[in-house]
Amino acid sequence: MGRGRLRVLLGAAPGVGKTYAMLEEGKHLRDAGKDVVVAVVETHGRAATAAMARGLEVVPRVAVTHRGVELDDLDLDAVLARRPDVALVDELAHTNAPGLAHHKRWEDVDRLLDAGIDVLSTVNIQHIESLNDVVEKITGVTQRETIPDAVLRAADQIEVVDLAPQALRDRLSSGVVYPAERVDAALSNYFRLGNLTALRELALLWLADEVDAALQHYRTEHGIDSTWEARERVVVTLTGGPEGETLLRRGARIAARSAGGDLLAVHVTSQDGLRGATPGALAQQRLLVEQLGGTYHQVVGDDIPTALVEFAKGVNATQLVIGVSRRSRLSAALSGPGIGATVTREAGNIDVHIVNHAAAGGRSRLPRLGGALTMKRRVIGFVLALVGGPLLTWVLVTFRTEESIISDVLAYQLLVVVVALVGGAWPAVYAAVLSGVTLDYFFIAPYHTITVGEPLHIVALVLYVVIAILVSVVVDQAARTTRAARRAAAESEVLATVAGSVLRGQDAVQALVHRAREAFGLAGARLVSDGAVLASDGEVPEGAARTTIDVDGRAALELYGADLEASERRLLRVIAAQLQAALEHNDLAEVASEVDQLAESDRVRSALLSALSHDLRRPLSAAAASVSGLRTDPGTLSAADRAELLETADESLTSLSTLITDLLDVSRLEAGVLGVSRSPVDAADVILPALDELHLGPGQVELDLDLTVPLVLADPVLLQRVVVNLLANATRHSPAGRRVRLTTSTFAGTVEIRVVDHGPGIPTDRREDVFVPFQRLGDTDNTTGLGLGLALSKGFVEGMGGTLVPEDTPGGGLTMVVALPAAAPSTAPDQPDRPETTAP
């Protein structure tokens, strides 16, 4: 008897249809002649799921009593005794009731598999152990029931039951997933559109990695090392140079042309660590890789082309992107084929893209103005003299005649000039002396002796040396001029790039510090003022040399890395001057911001005066008229008239008192002196008095208060004002016959109070306007006050450390969500049993 097969249906979130699909597949297997039983199924009250389970044999659950509570769960022994061909086991990550043989349901499934029973099960992506923390960051909910990755990966078949996020929200709104009373909270919490999209991507990527691992395992088992183009995998080679961004974006475009294409970036470092790249550039390119949806890899190898090709073959790459060589033509000719040519030859059936780039030639870093010729060129000059001299001598001796002495001399002279052009003075002098001795030894009688019989021969040798020196001086001057021109162009590019960065909206100070570090090839740079770091770029290695440039006495630019030469400090002074201007610009921007705030305050005062001229005048005029009427001859007024005038005066003065209170509260909010005294509060203790204040009963408001929500950390007086304002707005905009709904719930350490209406709602682009003082979004009935209610409510809630957010009501309308932090259990005082607060 062999082990059974495990097939798992993986979902991104509850409600996508995993259980339904499992039951549907069970019926198909039964119709195909398989013996199928339902070992355990969790319908969660969903009618469609329960209907699909009808017609299938269900193994009765086992009852377990724990602490006086009766629980039922999978009866493992009954299923083993029944021995079906296929067992349907829902919720693989479920924790069993205490007292059963196993702690987890997946352990029960393992027993069924050992008994030779095939199992069809379900699990959600949030229950996978390795993804638990990722899901918590996305949703804010900690998952306590998890399943080890190894258990799930050991399944014989894993399928994703997929459903578009908006389609799942539509199912939720229609009541298919949860009861109607839980829909609003679910849509605004776990089932947010962004959460569902992220969970869906997580599920698809996890399964894609599982398929990729299975494919790699198959290739390894069968010894297959050729590329299988199941999907495009584009590998981009990074050297740490400035061309990396260009290569990455090109590679991303190539990967995007095929659905599901992968982007991989790789940097090869030498085993001795001597062939390094700019750490700052690599860090930025690694960040860009992640932004483009790719992955970054680093491998070690002295033979860069071989390491690149081996990595590309190891990841089953189909495309390889490398940059054009930054070597000169002469260097390429002398040192042989470059990385590009070698990679192309060894890549086999992997397509190689050699991409040109603006940074070719190392223009990101300023050339140094030290020695005109590099040590590499000098070495090449000596090698050319040492190898070219004997080779030329062999050719000339082979074809020597009595009349060829002049051409022999000119040939050696040409060799001296070529060596001078390549290596400069010292290799040229060496070639001149060597050629003079060779001429005397092989071509001037007596042959094969170093004997100068004629003074003219000495003159010729001196001329060789002089000509070599003159040519080398010309070459050296040309190299210096070229280096100076390249440096001037690089300095101009530095300044132009900084200016362009600022024009594109980048921070000027950060851009200057970045370019200062990059231009001089340093490890790190930072701008420091009074011990505070204003901007930094790269790393600050321990023990690195530091160069400090003063920036107008207000800050200092610290550069870490190689010591800078005196000629390089000129550009630093220019950068320091620009840093000074950038700091002054930031100061001016702060002053301008303060001016903007003053202008905003002036606008608020203007709006306040405009509102006062109308909204305060109306109740004040009504109260004054009523009092004047009461002061007339008592004999002219009836008792009913006096009562009406008194009622009018009372209503007007009450309205006037409310308006003045709101104005004072707005003034305190604007001044930042709103007094907030937070303490643990029961939300119900605030909501019920708010209903009494507004005289709202069961005909206007439907309550759905969750009795399990913790105490909220808030100011009870301010929170009641918030609820009153929100309820007043909701009842005013709700259509006749539709009740306002008020609910409480808890999510991710916060308590949420929702005020739900079914009115016209607010367009998405106008939602921020409702929180602006003196804005009433078109209300012109002259009875809605100054338009301060929502502005005050938002200020009160934020003052208590919470948020006030408008959302769409399913089916039309507006939902105002008050989210406040829940009080810690240790700070919550002992509370009596809460009264039952159900819908009136």
In 658-732, at which residue ranges do the beta strands (DSSP E only) sit?
679-681, 701-704, 712-714
User: Which segments of the chain belong to CATH 3.40.50.300?
Assistant: 6-221
Is a pLDDT exceeding 90 seen at residue 552? no
CATH superfamily of 679-821: Histidine kinase-like ATPase, C-terminal domain (3.30.565.10)
Distance of CA 756 to the CA centre of its chain: 34
- List the structure tokens of 585: 């610009």
What is the pLDDT, as a whole number, of residue 609?
55
Burial of 664 (0-12, 13-18, 19+ CB in 10 A): exposed
Q: What is the pLDDT of residues 99-117, one digit of tens each?
A: 888 889 999 999 999 999 9
Pair 754, 184: CB distance under 8 Å: yes
Q: Is the peptide bond before 446 cis (omega within 30 degrees of 0)?
A: yes
Q: How far is CA 171 from CA 161, 168, 197, in A?
A: 15, 5, 15
Q: Which residue in 212, 250, 207 sits closest to 231, CA to CA? A: 212
In 249-400, at which residue ranges do the beta strands (DSSP E only) sit?
262-269, 295-300, 319-323, 351-355
Give the architecture-level CATH label for domain 233-355. 3-Layer(aba) Sandwich (3.40)
Is a pLDDT exceeding 50 seen at residue 839? no
Which helix H or strand E contains 78, and what residues bound it?
A: helix 76-82
- DSSP states of 293-306: T-EEEEEE-SSHHH
Kindly tell me the sign of the dihedral angle through the C-alpha atoms of 285, 290, 292, 294: positive
Q: What is the pLDDT of residues 381-398, one digit of tens each?
A: 888 888 888 888 888 888
Give the architecture-level CATH label for domain 6-221. 3-Layer(aba) Sandwich (3.40)
DSSP H helical ranges for 129-164 = 132-139, 149-153
Is a pLDDT exceeding 80 seen at residue 49? yes
The pLDDT confidence band at residue 782, using thresholds 50, 70 and 90, is very low
- In residues, how long is the chain? 840
**Residue at token pair 């724990």:** 66
Distance of CA 309 to the CA centre of its chain: 30
Mean pLDDT of 421-440: 77
User: Which segments of the chain belong to CATH 3.40.50.620?
Assistant: 233-355
What is the pLDDT, as a whole number, of residue 28?
92
C-alpha to C-alpha distance for 262 and 256, rounded to whole angstroms: 8
C-alpha to C-alpha distance for 688 and 693, rounded to whole angstroms: 9
Q: Which residue in 435, 396, 398 sits closest to 413, CA to CA? A: 435
Q: What is the pTM of this model?
A: 0.41
C-alpha to C-alpha distance for 292 and 286, rounded to whole angstroms: 10
For residue 630, the SS3 value is: helix
Q: What is the pLDDT of residues 341-385, one digit of tens each?
A: 778 777 777 888 888 765 554 444 444 444 456 677 778 888 888
C-alpha to C-alpha distance for 546 and 560, rounded to whole angstroms: 5
Q: What is the pLDDT of residues 750-778, one digit of tens each?
A: 888 989 888 888 877 776 766 665 454 44
Pair 793, 721: CB distance under 8 Å: yes
